[in-house]
């Protein structure tokens, strides 16, 4: 082992850690919830991608999965959940209703959650297959890996 060494930047180390330790908050509102559950079960297993830790408090999560239809009445709740999440945070729109309003082209349904909060990954389908969900997760991990990581401690004034 003499003479062997590894070169890495702080940004590479942080992005690797964040990429494989996603704490998800599922915001499940409709029928896509069944496909979300099947993607999280043993056959497809989100754990092997480092995203199996489901949190039911937005203050402990950094990945928001919006699964299903979001109505105008529910939109302020979704925005509040997003604002309570820790930084850095990422959002996945799961299913046709979250992506674009789906089959509900009316005044009561939000026509895409990107009108309320910023979205990082869109997973289309009605409902999307679990393989598509895993593909979306892999795309999010690549996005996290390629972005500049914020790592400097900020001085706080007391």
Asked whether the beta carbons of 97 and 32 are under 8 A apart, the reply is yes
Instruction: Write the pLDDT tens digit of every residue in 120-143.
Output: 999 999 888 888 988 999 999 899
Closest to 34 (Cα-Cα) out of 137, 133, 135 = 133
Over residues 70-91, mean pLDDT = 93
In a domain, 11, yes or no: no
Over residues 6-31, mean pLDDT = 84
A 10 A CB-CB count for 106 gives: 10
The residue to which tokens 């979250």 are assigned? 98
Predicted structure pTM score? 0.84
CATH of the domain at 139: 3.40.50.12280
Instruction: Write the pLDDT tens digit of every residue in 145-157.
Output: 888 777 665 555 6
In a domain, 29, yes or no: yes
What's the chain's length in residues? 158
In a domain, 18, yes or no: no
In a domain, 151, yes or no: no
A 10 A CB-CB count for 70 gives: 26
Asked whether the beta carbons of 118 and 100 are under 8 A apart, the reply is no
């Amino acid at each position: 082992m003499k003479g062997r060494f590894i070169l890495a930047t702080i940004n590479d180390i942080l992005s690797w850690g964040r990429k494989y330790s996603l704490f998800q908050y599922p915001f499940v509102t409709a029928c896509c919830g069944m496909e979300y559950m099947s993607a999280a079960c043993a056959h497809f297993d989100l754990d092997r991608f480092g995203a199996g830790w489901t949190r039911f408090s937005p203050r402990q999560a950094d990945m928001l999965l919006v699964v299903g239809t979001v109505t105008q009445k529910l939109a302020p709740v979704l925005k509040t959940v997003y604002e309570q999440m820790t930084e850095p945070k990422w959002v996945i729109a799961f299913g046709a209703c979250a992506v674009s309003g789906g089959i509900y082209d009316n005044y009561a349904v939000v026509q895409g959650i990107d009108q309320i909060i910023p979205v990082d990954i869109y997973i289309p389908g009605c409902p999307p297959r679990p393989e598509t969900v895993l593909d979306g997760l892999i795309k999010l991990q690549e996005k996290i890996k390629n972005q500049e990581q914020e790592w400097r401690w900020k001085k706080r004034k007391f």
